[in-house]
């Protein structure tokens, strides 16, 4: 919701840069006289400001790179605040029109608050699910190792038992033959 005003004003500034450029021109003239890196073409600054508002607002709406989006939106707010401050008279009343300075300061505060918000920790349910998942995978791994070890042991036992059974059966067959040979004359 915070990004919607920035996207809408950015689109408006990209479509019609004239009225905001006229309001911004005196401020830019003073700033470009003091600082040579400040552009002196107000229409270009308004278009850049509009593009910045749309891009920052879209990033914030999508939830991608929130801190970068909020920083871009804070930079987007600076020309608006300069114009609104300049339009205020000596007694604090604005010379004509509605009072947007309070709204712009509120939006700037909200953007800065979102930008400096600490990273959220996952909920206890989500952390518990993560721990449970780790424990289950560890248990499954241990069970797999145990089953394979037991299978190897059973295989060895079966092989050993088979040898023993063969040897016993051979002995029994030999005894039976020798006993039969004794009983039956040739």
pTM given for the model: 0.54
So what's the pLDDT on residue 25?
Answer: 85
Res 33 pLDDT > 50: yes
Question: What's the distance, CA 180 to chain centroid?
Answer: 86
DSSP letter for 121, please.
P
Q: Is 58 exposed, middle or buried (0-12, 13-18, 19+ CB in 10 A)?
A: middle
Domain ranges of the chain: 4-115, 122-186
Over the stretch 148-181, which tens digit does the pLDDT of each residue have? 777 777 777 777 767 777 777 777 877 777 766 7
Strand partners, 94: 88
In the chain, the percentage of residues whose pLDDT exceeds 90 is 0
**Alpha helices by DSSP H, 17-123:** 18-34, 42-62, 66-86, 101-115
* The pLDDT value given to residue 144: 80
φ, ψ for residue 100, nearest 5 deg? -100, -10
3-class state of residue 80 by DSSP: helix
């Amino acid at each position: 919701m915070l990004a919607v005003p920035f996207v809408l004003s950015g689109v408006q500034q990209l479509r019609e840069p004239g009225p905001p450029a006229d309001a911004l021109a005196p401020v830019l003239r003073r700033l470009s006289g003091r600082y040579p890196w400040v552009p002196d073409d107000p229409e270009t600054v308004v278009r850049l400001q509009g593009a910045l508002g749309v891009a920052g607002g879209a990033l914030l709406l999508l939830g991608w790179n929130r801190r970068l989006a909020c920083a871009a939106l804070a930079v987007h707010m600076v020309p608006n605040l300069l114009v609104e401050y300049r339009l205020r008279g000596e007694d604090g009343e604005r010379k004509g029109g509605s009072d947007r300075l309070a709204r712009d300061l509120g939006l700037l505060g909200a953007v800065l608050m979102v930008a400096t918000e600490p990273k959220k920790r996952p909920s206890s349910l989500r952390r518990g699910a993560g721990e449970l998942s780790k424990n289950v995978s560890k248990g499954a791994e241990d069970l797999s190792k145990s089953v394979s070890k037991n299978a190897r042991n059973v295989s060895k036992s079966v092989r050993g038992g088979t040898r023993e059974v063969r040897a016993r059966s051979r002995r029994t067959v030999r005894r039976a033959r020798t006993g039969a040979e004794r009983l039956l004359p040739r």
